[in-house]
Amino acid sequence: MSNGPLLDTNSPLTADQAERLNQALAGLNAHQLTWLAGYVSALSANGTVASAPAASAGTAASPAAEITLTVLYGSQTGNAERVAEQAAEHAKARGFTTRLVDMADISKKDFKEPGHYLIVVSTQGEGEPPDTAEGFYELLDGRKAPKLDGSHFAVLGLGDSSYEFFCEMGKRTDKRFAELGAQRIHDRVDADVDYDDTAEQFIDTALNAFDALKGDTGSTAAASAPQAVAGAPAATTWSRKHPFQAEVLESIQLNGRGSAKETHHIELSLEGSGLDYQPGDALGIVPQNDPSYVDEIIELLEFNADHDLGDGRLLRSALLQELEVTTLTRPLVKHWAEQTDSAELKRLLEEDNREELKQWLYGRQIIDVLRDYPIKGLTPQALVGALRKLPPRLYSIASSLEANPDEVHLTVGIVRYETHGRARGGVTSTWLSDRVKPGDTIPIYIDHNKNFKLPEDGSTPIIMVGPGTGIAPFRAFLQQREEEGATGDNWLLFGDQHFNTDFLYQSEWLKMREQGLLTRFDVAFSRDQAEKVYVQDRLREHGQAVFEWLSQGAHFYVCGDGDRMANDVHATLMEIAHTHGGMDEEAAAAWLRELQQSKRYQRDVY
C-alpha cells in the first residue's frame, strides 16, 4: 500500500474528509477493499449516502466485465446442493450470469474455455466423494484431466470433524484445481456439521472476490450488505435453526425379548406444521444431552451450574441444549493439546500416528479428556468456547405421508455401550428412548434428499437392500408405491442378527408379500447358523436375477452402515457384473458408475 494520498485532487470530498478516509483505507488489503466497495455501493443504492458524482471530464467510466459463474456441487444427502442453490441465488441477485451444475452432469468439454467456479462439495465416510461425483473426480485425477489455465475458483467443503478425513473432498478439489492451472480466488473453507453460518459467510466473501474480477465492483448490486434474496425461504419455514415442536404419538420397541439390540418405532405428529416430505427424505432432530452426563462434567470441573455466560445463558443450559459435549473430534484434541501442552496428545496428533489417534478416539468422549488432561485455571467461558454446537441428528423417514397423513415415522436403533470403565450411549437415541415419552414434543425439521428417491415411472422395478435400521426408507418406499398403485416389481433384502427377535416389521413385510406388493423378499439373519450370512451373501446367491433386473432398468437402493455393509454390497455388485455380465474390473466399475450417475444406484449410508 502506498504511503502517498489515496484520493486525487478531483475528489469531491473536502480536504478533511479526504484525509480521514485516506487514514482509514491505508491499512486495508485487497480483499477488504473489495468488501468495502460493495458495502458503499449498497449504501448508495439504498439512498443512505449521496449518489456518486458523474465522472469528471477526461475520465471514461468503463463498463464492468461480464462473468458467468458456475456454481458446481457434489452432494450425497442434499446439504451441499442446498448450499449451492443458496450461492446461485445470491450470485443472481448480484447480477452474475449463473449456472448451477451437479458434478454428475459435468464433463471435460465443459472446461474447454476458462471459467469461474464456486464449488461446494461434501465428504462421505473415510474421505470419499458423493456417489454421483465419482466420475468427476476420476476425470480430475486422470490423464485426461482438463487444463484450467485462466480459470478462477473458490471451494467450500462440508464435513464432520469427528471423522478422520474431515472435508477431504474439499481439500482434494481445492488442491487439484490449482494443480490444473486455475487460480484460487478465495481460500478454501472447511465447514463442520453446523455449517449454516460458515456457508453464508463463505458465499458472501467468495462472491466479493468474483465481483472484483468484473473490474467495477461498484457497478454491481449490493455486494455485501445484508439483503433479501429472491427465492429465499420465509423466516417461518421450519428448519434446523427454526425446528417444529412435534408431539410424540408412539414409541414401540421392535425387538423381541432376549435380543442384543434395542430398536424403536417412533411416530410423530406433524399436525399444524405444514411440513411435507417424500420417501427417501430424512427427519432432522435437535436433541438434548443427557442431564446426568452434563452434571458430571460440571462437578468434575467444579463449576457453578448457574454460571452466567452472558446474554442470559447459563452454563448448565448451554451444555444441555446448545453444545456438543460427547463426541471427540481431532480439532478439539488439538486445542486441548495446545492448552495443556500435553506431550502425549501432541504425539497422537502427528501425521504418522493417524491410525493410533483413530483407535485412541474410538470409545472415548469429551469427559475423558477433561478428566485425564486437566487445564489449570479452566473457566466456563473457555470450555464453552472450545466446544462445537450440538448438531442435529438425521434419521431416514420410515413412512409415506400419503399413507400416514400428518405423521412421520422413524426406526431408531438405540446406541448403548461400555468403554474405558463407563457406560455410554448415543445422544439422540437414548434421549428418545429414555427421557422422551408419548405426549412430549421434540424439535424437528425435514431434511430433503434429492439423491435417494423412487423412480418417477411407477412401472420401474426396484431392488432395496436394508439391513437393521436401514430398512426404514424402504417401508416408506413400499407404502408410497402402494398408495400410487405403482406397477413396478419390488424386491426387498433385509438382514439382522436373529429371526426370532430382530425381524423388524415382520408382519408388514409378510402382508405386502401376500398382497403382491413385494415381488421378492429375501432375508439374512447372521447369527442363526454357525456361518454368518449377510445381505451381500443373498445378493451373491441371486446374482443372476440381480443382473437381469438391473439390465431391464431396475433401480438399486442401499441404506445402512456405510463403513462396511455398503462397501461389501458394492463389491458384490462388482462380482455380479463380472460373473453374470462378463465384465472385467474396469468395465464393471464403469457400469456401476453409470448407474450412479443416472441415479439408478442410490445409497443412504451413515
Q: What is the pLDDT of residue 562?
A: 83
The predicted model gives 232-260 an average pLDDT of: 85
- Residue 239 domain flag: no
Q: Is residue 401 pLDDT above 80, yes or no?
A: yes
Predicted structure pTM score: 0.79
164 & 24 share domain: yes
- Residue 237 domain flag: no
Average the pLDDT over each of 182-196, 219-233, 243-257, 555-569 and give the range with the smallest value: 219-233
Measured distance CA(537)–CA(593) in Å, rounded: 22
251 & 277 share domain: yes
Which residues make beta-bridge pairs with 416?
A: 425
What domain range is 360 assigned to? 291-386
Which residue do the cell numbers 452426563 mark? Answer: 293
Q: What is the pLDDT of residues 467-508, one digit of tens each?
A: 999 999 999 999 999 999 999 999 999 999 999 999 999 999
Q: What is the pLDDT of residues 541-551, one digit of tens each?
A: 999 999 999 99
Measured distance CA(152)–CA(255) in Å, rounded: 55
Measured distance CA(92)–CA(151) in Å, rounded: 20
Please give the share of the chain, as a percent, with pLDDT higher than 90: 78
Which residue do the cell numbers 485425477 mark? Answer: 141
Measured distance CA(5)–CA(20) in Å, rounded: 11
Q: What is the pLDDT of residues 424-464, one digit of tens each?
A: 999 999 999 999 999 999 999 999 998 999 999 999 999 99
The predicted model gives 303-310 an average pLDDT of: 95
Q: What is the pLDDT of residue 132?
A: 87
The predicted model gives 527-553 an average pLDDT of: 97
Q: What is the pLDDT of residue 227?
A: 39
Q: What is the pLDDT of residue 16?
A: 58
Phi and psi at residue 433, to the nearest 5°? -85, -35
36 & 131 share domain: yes
The predicted model gives 180-199 an average pLDDT of: 94
Q: What is the pLDDT of residue 60?
A: 35
Q: Is residue 222 pLDDT above 50, yes or no?
A: no
600 & 565 share domain: yes
Average the pLDDT over each of 8-12, 53-57, 132-136, 146-150 and give the range with the smallest value: 53-57
Q: What is the pLDDT of residue 20?
A: 61
Which residues make beta-bridge pairs with 557?
A: 464, 602
- Residue 457 domain flag: no
CATH code of 483's domain: 3.40.50.80
Q: Is residue 41 pLDDT above 60, yes or no?
A: no
Mean pLDDT of the chain: 88
Task: Work out how many domains the chain is built from and give that number.
Answer: 4
